[in-house]
Amino acid sequence: MKIKKKIQQARTLMDALPYIRKFNKKTVVIKYGGSAQADPALKEKFAQDIVLLYLVGIKPVIIHGGGKKISNLLDKLEFKSEFVDGLRVTSQSVMEVVEMVLGGNINKEITNLLNYHGAKAIGITGKDASFIEAKALDEGKYGLVGDITKIDHKVVEDLIAQDFIPVIAPIASGGTNHPGFNINADLAASKVAVALRAEKIIFLTDTPGLLDSDAKLISTLEKEEILELKNSGVISGGMIPKTDACFNALEEGVGSAHIIDGRVEHSILLELFTKDGIGTKIK
């Protein structure tokens, strides 16, 4: 390799230094959307990004979704499920599938991938040590969709203190003999970020960020503007719980919230280690 190229590589590393210093020992919660998990090559890059954060002293915590995989299995089994207000209405049998896909398949896949790339990741659901408890959201309007009532942050903090990367499936305990609750992953991520007093929350999804009525990217947005965009229908479907989650996280003390494109390779590094970041920043 030519010396010039080597120097350029060193400069690229140095460009990241101020950010590495800024986020050193800080907790960053990353919501890994099901929509961003489609491509195997991108999954590898996601895992590499997370392991890099971990090895430079940032404390990543992963919460994943899995909407599309759940829908695929439900279709195969010919179980009906519908979305209301961006949330999956969850019957008992749908809950079984949700737990299989989220707590089993996807959770272990992400955990395995991170471990393969050199981290120590542990996959859990809110049922483990009952660290997430919930009750039915809106008096059961959406079936077993849960509203988190309690998070035992110590369980996650202990894992972080032992240098594990927690990989959390958004399922909550509903008590003994209860099938558990399906929690929207965006809302679970924001509650976990608040409980851990995270520096940042990042949502990886399948759009460039939050788009306006002309489908143009909104780079920055005040959290108060969310309501307006919801009322005018610009924010719809899966973006409703996501922007609600950003709002809640910021309201309760998380430093910043970002919605970024999980289909862009190394999008997490671009967000964390460049001046302008990518996607939408909500202030």
Ligand X SMILES: Nc1ncnc2c1ncn2[C@@H]1O[C@H](COP(=O)(O)OP(=O)(O)OP(=O)(O)O)[C@@H](O)[C@H]1O
Smallest gap, in angstroms, from Cβ of residue 63 to ligand X? 9
Contacts of 225 (CB under 8 A, 6+ apart): none
Smallest gap, in angstroms, from Cβ of residue 3 to ligand X? 43
- If DSSP states are collapsed to H, E and C, what string results for 17-55? HHHHHHHCCCEEEEEECHHHHCCHHHHHHHHHHHHHHHH
Looking at beta carbons only, is 19 or 188 nearer to ligand X?
A: 188
Q: Can you give the binding site for ligand X, defined by CB under 6 A?
A: 33-36, 65-67, 185-186, 205-207, 210-211, 234-239, 242
Smallest gap, in angstroms, from Cβ of residue 64 to ligand X? 7
Q: How do beta strands 146-151 and 132-136 pair?
A: antiparallel
- Helices (runs of H) and strands (runs of E) counted in the chain: 10, 14
Smallest gap, in angstroms, from Cβ of residue 178 to Mg ion? 24
**What is the CA angle 159-127-84, rounded to 5?**
115
Looking at beta carbons only, is 19 or 95 nearer to ligand X?
A: 95
What does 66 interact with, of Mg ion, ligand X, none (CB < 5 to 8 A by kind)? Answer: ligand X
Distance CA 98, CA 57 (A): 33
Smallest gap, in angstroms, from Cβ of residue 143 to ligand X? 17
Q: How do beta strands 165-169 and 121-125 pair?
A: parallel
Among 123, 146, 238, 262, binds Mg ion (CB under 5 A): 238
Looking at beta carbons only, is 240 or 270 nearer to ligand X?
A: 240
Distance CA 115, CA 118 (A): 5
Looking at beta carbons only, is 9 or 236 nearer to ligand X?
A: 236
Give the per-residue contact string, 195-234, with Mg ion (x = CB under 5 A; - = no): ----------------------------------------
Residues that bind Mg ion (CB under 5 A): 238
